[in-house]
Chain A
Amino acid sequence: MTLLKGAGLAVGPGVRLPISGATTLLFVALVASCFLFPNHLALATQILVLMIFALSYDLLQGHAGIVSLGHAVFLGLGAYSSAILARAGFTDPLLGLAAGAAVPALIALVLSPIVVRGNDFTRLLVTLGVASLVYEAANRLRDLTGGADGLSDFEVAPLLGLFAFDFEGRTGFVYALATFSLVHLALWRVTTSPFGMALRGIRENPRRMPAIGSPVARHLAVAYLLSGAVAGVAGALLAQTSRFASLDMLGFERSAEIVMVVTLGGNGHLAGVGIGAAAFGVVKDALSTVSPRYWQLGLGLVLMASVFLARGGIGGVIERLGRPRRRP
């Protein structure tokens, strides 16, 4: 059993803020990036989306120990839900965000019996199979999803009726940052609650948890549902800030990417996963403009190497820096 990671920043005897030191640094860096790189706000917004997506998957893989190869399905469903809603005339961004959370949560609820019941192998298969099915369905339903062209003919109303989404992406960035903060806070609360502890217990020892009376299947189903809903929020945010929803948001490469981001960031370490996602977003943006094919090759090689080199990921490094004396 590992120590409770990221249990909060101590600001006085017995007083802890609900964020860790590393997370504080992360937020400072995010706010600073808004002022330092005012011309790259679109990229910063995309990175925030990736961070939310990574946090959602970390709940599943890092905390509950469920490996999925189709988590991008929820991202894509969230993006399409908000885009389709906006096309139908309901352009309020917060309504879109709610729809982006609700639809994937519903799908996760339907899928959870087969995902929860399986072992690692059947989970991989089911998530992979569902991903290819949803991809195929989205591709076929051209009237609804725009098929391979994607959806871009929708408007997004001003945030709270006050702040229009401007061309430089300032509103989009602040909107994404606020959403990220709320999601981070909510997930921090969830993962440090007794429910979060139970998830860790299931991951560490799936045989003992039922023996002490923990409803394993229900806990895993709730984690799957929450994770799907948060991924949907990331997707809706992505569609609203980029005014685009497309098939690649559902694709296998996105799912593989997020497995890698969470593993490199450090399973179950919120701050590490956030930092990992941010670093990944910057590197990907830089490399994929050079050549997408080399990007895929590099992604594959890093994935292979990560198994042997990066045990514990960025979160593990933060842990070791934070508590040098407690670990021999």
Chain B
Amino acid sequence: MSNVIAIIVDGVAYGMLLFLSAVGLSVTLGLMRFINLAHGAFAMGGGYLAVVLVDAGLPFLLSLPIVFLAIGASGIAIERAGIRHLYRRTALEQVLFSIGLALALGALANLVFGPQQQAIQIPSLLSGRVTVLGLDIARYRLFLIVMGAATAITLVCLFEYTLFGARIRAAVDNRRAAEGIGIQVERLFAVTFGLGAALAGLGGALSVEMLGLDPAFALKYLTILLMVVAIGGAGSIAGSLQAALVLGTVDALFKYFLPEAGGFVIFGLLVAVLLVRPSGLRGRAA
């Protein structure tokens, strides 16, 4: 029994990583109708940056906010330089551009860091195990769950209860009217895109310890990130969280009990959800 609970904790921790990496994708798709297949590349960039910073002697916990800010800034730069020209283009053009970006960044990582797996040194505070409510849990898993939950609460508050969130919701519902009352929609999109990239970077930095990191990372996890968005519904933060937790837990359980069927079950779940609710669990009608 405690074995099953340990696996579920593993799955929830994995789900939190998926949530961090996918929520930005969900927001950019829901708010800007932009299909960003390069989103996993932001997570990969965050992972590599964290590895470099920790190797240079910086403490792991201090490297996280630096990764968050740096990847967020590069996200804004990429949005300003290329992606903002694509909001009104066809899905095909968005796909071509973002797949190209993901391939190019993956090849760049391969050229700079080589094809091997990267490892990261986490502090002793986060390694080892701890007993919570009679359960023996790895500290790092617990740390991931706390980080994910804190991010989810912060994001919901940001979008539901602040002026910034209200502006974003207004711009989504009616861009023209929002611009008419003086909301600078262009700048809003850039900041939102940067926030999504920053969260993905943070997710990537946190996932090195648990999932590993190599130049194929961006494309390897792209499918499951897209699944989180599709099941959760584009633009919904609570939906992304639910979908990520369900997918993470189901994945962990099947990998343990029925390893041959792992990916197939997840995909079956996706098809079932899309057939019943084409716009996701919490999706707005597109």
Contacts and interface: CB of A to CB of B under 8 A. Distances in A.
B101 A129 contact: no
Given A121-B29, A256-B99, A297-B111, A308 B219 contact: no
Contact of A128 (B86, B107, B223): B223
A117 B105 contact: no
Contacts of B144: none
A125 B35 CA distance: 11
B96 A120 contact: no
B108 A297 contact: yes
Nearest to B85: A308
A129 B110 contact: no
Contacts of B100: 260, 299-307
A296 B6 CA distance: 40
A95 interface: no
B96 A263 contact: yes
Interface in B2-43: 29, 35, 37
B254 interface: no
Given A301-B100, A308-B85, A252 B219 contact: yes
Contacts, number: 118
Interface string A163-199: 0000000000000000000000000000000000000
B278 A120 contact: no
On chain B, which size bracket covers the interface?
Answer: 35 or more
Nearest to B33: A121
Nearest to A255: B99
A132 interface: yes
A126 B275 CA distance: 12
A125 B266 CA distance: 13
Contact of A119 (B104, B264, B275, B286): B286
Given A263-B96, A308-B85, A121 B260 contact: no
Interface stretch (B87-95, B179-187, B198-206, B236-244): B87-95
Contacts of A124: 35, 37, 91, 95, 226
Contacts of B92: 61, 67, 259, 263, 267
Contacts of B234: 121
B89 A128 contact: no
B35 A303 contact: no
A67 B95 contact: yes
Contact of B263 (A126, A136, A304): A136
Interface in B253-284: 260, 263-264, 267, 270-271, 274-275, 278
Interface in A66-91: 67, 69
Contacts of A67: 91-92, 95
B223 A132 contact: yes
B222 interface: yes
A302 B230 CA distance: 29
Interface string B198-238: 00000000000000000000010011001100100010000
Given A119-B286, A293-B111, A300-B101, A133 B267 contact: yes
A297 B107 contact: yes
Interface in A203-259: 252-253, 256, 259
Interface string B66-107: 000000000000000010011001011101110111111111
A305 B223 CA distance: 24
Given A122-B278, A129-B270, A296 B99 contact: no
Nearest to A267: B92
Interface residues of A, number: 42
A10 interface: no
A114 B223 contact: no
B104 A114 contact: no
Interface string B124-154: 0000000000000000000000000000000
Nearest to A61: B92
Q: Looking at B29, B85, B96, B104, which has the most chain A CB atoms within 10 Å of its CB?
A: B96
Nearest to A123: B91
B278 A118 contact: yes
B97 A304 contact: yes
Given A124-B226, A304-B97, A297 B104 contact: yes
Contacts of A296: 103-104, 106-107, 110
Contacts of A253: 103
Nearest to A301: B104
Given A121-B35, A133-B267, A307-B89, A256 B103 contact: yes
26 contacts: A67-B91, A69-B37, A69-B95, A69-B99, A114-B271, A118-B274, A121-B91, A122-B278, A126-B274, A128-B223, A128-B226, A129-B223, A252-B219, A256-B99, A259-B99, A263-B92, A296-B106, A296-B107, A299-B103, A300-B105, A303-B96, A303-B104, A304-B97, A304-B101, A307-B86, A308-B85
Given A256-B99, A303-B97, 10 more contacts: A121-B234, A125-B223, A128-B226, A259-B99, A293-B107, A294-B107, A294-B111, A296-B104, A297-B111, A300-B104
Interface of B: 29, 35, 37, 82, 85-86, 89, 91-93, 95-97, 99-108, 110-111, 219, 222-223, 226-227, 230, 234, 260, 263-264, 267, 270-271, 274-275, 278, 286
Interface of A: 61, 67, 69, 114, 117-122, 124-126, 128-130, 132-133, 136-137, 140, 252-253, 256, 259-260, 263, 267, 293-294, 296-297, 299-308
Closest 10 CB pairs of A and B: A303-B100, A300-B104, A300-B103, A120-B91, A297-B107, A304-B100, A296-B107, A300-B100, A307-B97, A125-B226
